[in-house]
Amino acid sequence: MRTFLLLASLLFVSSMKVAAQADNHQLPGCETSPEGRHVIDHNLDAKKLDKMKVKERLAWRRQVLDGLIAKYPREFEPYQLLFYSLLHQAPDEFIELRAALVRRAEENPDDPFALLLAGFVLKGKDTPESIRLLESAQSKAPDFPLPAKELADEYFWGKSADANKFRKHLETFFSLCPGSIDRDMQFFLAKDPALQPKVAIALRARLEKETDPKRLEDYSVLWGLEFRTRPPAEHDALRAQIARDLNKLQNLHPSGDAEWLAFLVTGCKQSIASKTDVTVLEDRILREYPSSNQASAIVQDRWTDTHPEPVDQTDTAAWANYQKEYEKAVRGWIWNYPDGTYLQRYAWFHTIGGDDTISERDGISALDDYLTSVKDFNPPNFRQSSW
């Protein structure tokens, strides 16, 4: 592991040199490039990472992100993902990364991208300097949206919170990226009701031209935004619009994977579709992807719907019977869904926590399995109050 980290550090230093020599006029846009997005979506897919143990996961993320930085040195997201990976799991390397990016800005004071990176990594460590660097990046490249994003974040939290400055940078970002579905900026957008309708209109216009199934799943963001920006009297019309959207989406991609079908189910539940329509889609997931996590979620939800908890909190016999039925169901889920990481690692320990009839031996065995999973798969968090 130490050998790999040394090689990774050497690759990162090399990437820094390549990035410093890159065209300073080449700045990232509102989103990661399609090429970089493809690598991140496929190589750092959460389901893939979740199967890896802590050390293996960190090594793989480092390998993928260092490779992305070497190939696309002017993309922001790979640095961002690497920063947070090291922050939580490799504090020494995290400090080295932060120092390298600050040094890069010092050596390239006219490069807005270098200033952005340094301002980003100094957030929480040296807030005044972070803000200075981000504002400098914005002044040198007014059409560069990412400094506005990071400044909105700076002015939303903590001692530097300033509602007027936050709103200013939020509006700047969405003026440059009107249809953005950036998760952080969508969270901030909820704080500016006047801006939300404009973003909803821009996002719908953008999605109506989209064909990539992964990006089309962003309709779920749009639907939530539209419901928040319309009065209740218009919600029936919105549900009808969602039904039209779903019809278009199903025609665009009639054969989708379990994730795509689960997205359609979510849309159906928000539309004018009947409960029968939802059930038909769910049954399709169960039929075509019977071992998927999406199928597991449907089966568990249906069990919960058909097995309500006892109403009388003092009815110990009813609760004991419910507990045994639930344990039987969980054992079945563990057997039927081997890819369900929560089921395989933690569910049984949490399930028997309220069962006094479990033997000491079985309880200790469940605890040992639980602790082994925590050790193997849950990364330690080295993050401190100050980065």
Q: How confident is the model at residue 270 (pLDDT cuts 50, 70, 90)?
A: very high
Q: How confident is the model at residue 6 (pLDDT cuts 50, 70, 90)?
A: very low
pLDDT score recorded for residue 384: 47
Structure tokens belonging to residue 168: 């200013």
Which percentage of the chain shows pLDDT scores above 90?
Answer: 86
Closest among 131, 120, 197, 142 to 165, alpha carbons compared: 131
Closest among 288, 251, 244 to 268, alpha carbons compared: 244
pLDDT score recorded for residue 254: 93
Which percentage of the chain shows pLDDT scores above 70?
Answer: 91
Residue-wise pLDDT for 216-258, tens only, equals 999 999 999 999 999 999 999 999 999 999 999 999 999 999 9
Q: How confident is the model at residue 15 (pLDDT cuts 50, 70, 90)?
A: low
Mean pLDDT of the chain: 91
Q: How far apart are CA 219 and CA 196, in angstroms?
A: 15
Residue-wise pLDDT for 282-308, tens only, equals 999 999 999 999 999 999 999 999 999
Mean pLDDT (whole number) for 20-28: 66
The pTM of this model reads 0.86
Question: Rounded to the nearest 5 degrees, what angle is found at the Cα of 360, between the Cα atoms of 359 and 365?
Answer: 100
pLDDT score recorded for residue 1: 44
